[in-house]
């Protein structure tokens, strides 16, 4: 389905026998049918003090100290969130460790100890959990160390604290999961629909809206049904919760796309969903919010899809935060002989990692092991103006025009073709038959335009 063309044009396209340009398909077969499996507590976890956008947490434990799973081991600082022990263990070290996105960062390393030495903290239900004020709920969400689990890792309490002047009328829960290969959100929706719905209701009360829309892609109708059933079992209590099926087409799960698909509202270029009175949260985040508010339970584990042709037994794994990726891969039968690439997140917007001895962090929803040498093995060719990128771009931008201008050394002339609006979903680069690195061309154009604007501001000041 095209996001921007009129119906008439779509009808005309049927004359081309209904086949548009190629498009990243879901490729979720390997793990879609596999329920979430719990990873046995690993021998060691590495817990970076920064797993979110914001200030690093400050350690409150010392080397050699015994800690219980669930215990806070680093206090929130500034705009950040705290960090908790995800296994029963002993603090082995507090020092620089490999980090999946920051290359290296301070981290607390725990080695596991026998149950006789330390046991997991218990988190009993707070009987008054449905009647809490929004400040108390926000405090519990922050205290639980919750960040956006869909990949962005923005501290959830900050997203829920609306900036002055912002009014919101709709909460959107993102269950689209459009990245190829990934099924962690899908399996979570099937396994814990109740927690997601309850979490969504709590989130709605925090931001003060009645309307909740849960968006699920059409290749996951059973997940949508599970959520609908769960919602039906809970008294409406003044909230209007609807589960909506949206077309399965990458990048349907991008905030801009999902907000438009569900509400018809278009988020202006470079603006946040606040601009159209919407707050968006991921389904896994909603479930974590439920646990945090109801049980004061911190974020200790997350579901991650370990998949791709480079792993022997693809699985959906619930693993403690801080588990080394090598342990995850071993749980999934190890690497195949062909494995050459390690992608953290989904294969479209995720990033390639050089190594497996880095920890699972809060925002990592997938670990995709790929084969082959990657997209630029044979270099790239010239733009042949085939127009496939124009059809692929969900925003109607012109990656072809931007790329040829960047190549010609005229990056600053690419603003009118949308360089600044691009959120780098990669759909254009996927379809390019000349294998052009269009996302990178757009990044170059973006930074050139920003620099030009800064220079201009400096001159006119």
Map the footprint of other proteins across residues 117-176, applying CB under 8 A.
Answer: none
Question: Rounded CA gap, 114 and 297, in Å?
Answer: 22
Shortest Å, Cβ 32 to other proteins:
17
Beta bridge partners, 280, equal 172
Question: Rounded CA gap, 400 and 254, in Å?
Answer: 22
> Should residue 457 be labelled a site residue for other proteins when binding is judged by CB under 8 A?
no
The residues in 259-318 that bind other proteins, with binding defined as CB under 8 A, are 260-264, 266
The residues in 210-249 that bind other proteins, with binding defined as CB under 8 A, are 215, 218, 244-247
The DSSP letter of residue 14 is G
**For tokens 């309490």, what's the residue?**
157
Biggest alpha carbon–alpha carbon distance for the chain: 71
Shortest Å, Cβ 129 to other proteins:
31
> Should residue 432 be labelled a site residue for other proteins when binding is judged by CB under 8 A?
yes
Kindly state the number of chain residues that form the binding site for other proteins, as judged by CB under 8 A.
Answer: 90
Of 83 and 370, the one with the shorter C-beta distance to other proteins is 370
- Taking Cα atoms as reference points, which of 265, 230, 229, 223 lies closest to residue 245? 223
What does the per-residue mask of binding to other proteins show for 37-76, with x meaning CB under 8 A? Answer: -----xxx--------------------------------
Q: Give the tokens for residue 211.
A: 């309307």
What does the per-residue mask of binding to other proteins show for 174-193, with x meaning CB under 8 A? Answer: ------x-------------
Angle in degrees, CA 33, 336, 44, rounded to 5:
80
Contact stretch for other proteins (CB under 8 A) within 80-88, 131-139, 377-385, 450-458? 377-385
Shortest Å, Cβ 376 to other proteins:
6
> Could you say which of 13, 55, 126, 169 contacts other proteins (CB under 8 A)?
13
> Should residue 350 be labelled a site residue for other proteins when binding is judged by CB under 8 A?
yes
> Could you say which of 236, 268, 382, 447 contacts other proteins (CB under 8 A)?
382
Cis peptide before 251 (omega within 30 of 0): yes
Angle in degrees, CA 74, 286, 67, rounded to 5:
25
DSSP string, 218-241: GGGHHHHHHHHHHHHTS--TT-EE
Shortest Å, Cβ 334 to other proteins:
7
């Amino acid at each position: 389905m095209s996001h921007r063309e009129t119906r008439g044009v779509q009808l005309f396209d049927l004359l081309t026998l209904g086949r548009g340009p190629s498009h990243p398909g879901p490729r979720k077969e390997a793990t879609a049918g596999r329920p979430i499996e719990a990873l046995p507590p690993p021998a060691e976890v590495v817990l970076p003090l920064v797993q979110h956008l914001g200030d690093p947490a400050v350690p409150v434990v010392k080397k050699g100290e015994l800690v219980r799973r669930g215990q806070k081991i680093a206090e929130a600082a500034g705009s950040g969130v705290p960090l908790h022990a995800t296994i029963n263990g002993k603090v082995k070290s507090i020092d620089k460790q490999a980090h999946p996105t920051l290359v290296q960062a301070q981290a607390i390393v725990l080695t596991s100890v026998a149950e006789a030495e330390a046991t997991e903290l218990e988190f009993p239900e707070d009987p008054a959990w449905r009647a809490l004020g929004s400040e108390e709920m926000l405090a519990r969400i922050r205290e639980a160390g919750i960040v956006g689990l869909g990949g962005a890792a923005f501290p959830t309490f900050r997203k829920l604290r609306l900036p002055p002047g912002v009014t919101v009328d709709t909460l959107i829960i993102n269950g689209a999961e459009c990245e190829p290969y990934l099924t962690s959100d899908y399996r979570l929706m099937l396994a814990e629909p109740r927690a997601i719905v309850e979490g969504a209701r709590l989130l709605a009360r925090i931001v003060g809206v009645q309307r909740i829309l849960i968006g699920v892609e059409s290749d996951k109708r059973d997940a949508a049904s599970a959520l609908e059933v769960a919602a039906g079992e809970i008294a409406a209590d003044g909230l209007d919760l609807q589960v909506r099926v949206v077309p399965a087409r990458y990048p349907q799960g991008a905030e801009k796309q999902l907000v438009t698909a569900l509400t018809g509202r278009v988020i202006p270029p470079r603006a946040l969903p606040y601009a159209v009175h919407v707050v968006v949260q991921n389904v896994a985040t909603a479930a974590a919010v439920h646990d945090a508010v109801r049980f004061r339970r911190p974020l200790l584990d997350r579901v991650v899809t370990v998949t791709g042709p480079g792993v022997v037994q693809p699985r959906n794994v619930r693993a403690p935060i801080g588990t080394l990726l090598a342990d995850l891969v071993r749980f999934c039968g190890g690497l195949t002989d062909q494995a050459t690439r390690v992608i953290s997140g989904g294969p479209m917007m995720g990033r390639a990692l050089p190594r497996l001895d880095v920890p699972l962090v809060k925002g990592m929803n997938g670990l995709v092991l790929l084969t082959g040498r990657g997209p630029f093995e044979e270099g790239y060719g010239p733009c042949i103006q085939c127009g496939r990128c124009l059809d692929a771009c969900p925003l109607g931008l012109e990656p072809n025009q931007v790329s040829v201008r960047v190549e010609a050394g005229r990056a600053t002339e690419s603003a009118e073709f949308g360089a600044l609006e691009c959120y780098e979903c990669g759909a254009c680069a996927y379809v390019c038959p000349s294998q052009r690195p269009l996302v990178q061309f757009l990044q170059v154009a973006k930074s050139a335009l920003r620099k030009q604007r800064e220079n201009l501001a400096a001159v006119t000041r």
